[in-house]
């Protein structure tokens, strides 16, 4: 059986990354399949996440809500926008032609009063 350290050494030398799968162990992913995408709001708070190009963006959106907005907005409030288009949870970085380093803008919904 190969140790986790040995897997890390082998994978990094072949342009691959390891992704934890919880109790199932580790999965080798080609680095070229990964992108780091950030969400930035109007207060310049930024949350970034590295993910597969084929992963749904809902995970990043949920992470943003968990980290930044508990005191600012309830989950589901606000809009995520990339290149002038609203981002939906089922979109993937591949769907939106995103590259590593791209940022999704987050805007709170304004309430008329």
Please indicate, yes or no, if residue 4 is contained in any of the structural domains. Answer: no
What does each of the 113 residues of the chain score in pLDDT, given as a tens digit? 545 555 555 555 445 555 555 555 666 656 678 999 999 999 999 999 999 999 999 999 999 998 886 667 778 889 999 999 999 999 999 999 999 999 999 998 876 44
Residue 7 lies in a domain: no
Output the domain CATH number for residue 51: 3.10.20.90
Residue 31 CA to chain centroid, in angstroms?
A: 15
With a CB cutoff of 8 Å and minimum separation 6, the contacts of 95 are none
* Overall number of domains in the chain: 1
Cβ neighbours, 10 Å, residue 81: 13
Evaluate whether residue 101 is within a structural domain.
Answer: yes
The sheet that has 103-107: what strands, in order across it?
Answer: 46-52, 34-41, 103-107, 79-82, 85-86
Residue 23 lies in a domain: no
Task: Give the CA angle between residues 55, 57, 62 to the nearest 5°.
Answer: 120
Give domain status of residue 22, yes or no. no
């Amino acid at each position: 059986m190969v140790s986790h350290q040995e897997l890390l050494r082998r994978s990094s030398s072949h342009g691959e990354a390891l992704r934890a799968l919880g109790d199932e162990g580790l999965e080798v992913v080609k680095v070229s399949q990964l992108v780091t995408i950030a969400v930035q709001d109007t207060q310049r708070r930024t949350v970034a996440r590295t993910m597969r190009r084929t992963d749904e963006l809902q995970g990043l959106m949920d992470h943003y809500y968990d980290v930044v907005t508990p005191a600012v907005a309830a989950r589901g409030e606000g809009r995520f926008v990339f290149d002038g288009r609203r981002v939906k949870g089922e979109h993937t970085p591949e769907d939106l032609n995103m590259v590593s380093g791209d940022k999704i803008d987050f805007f709170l919904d304004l309430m008329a009063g």
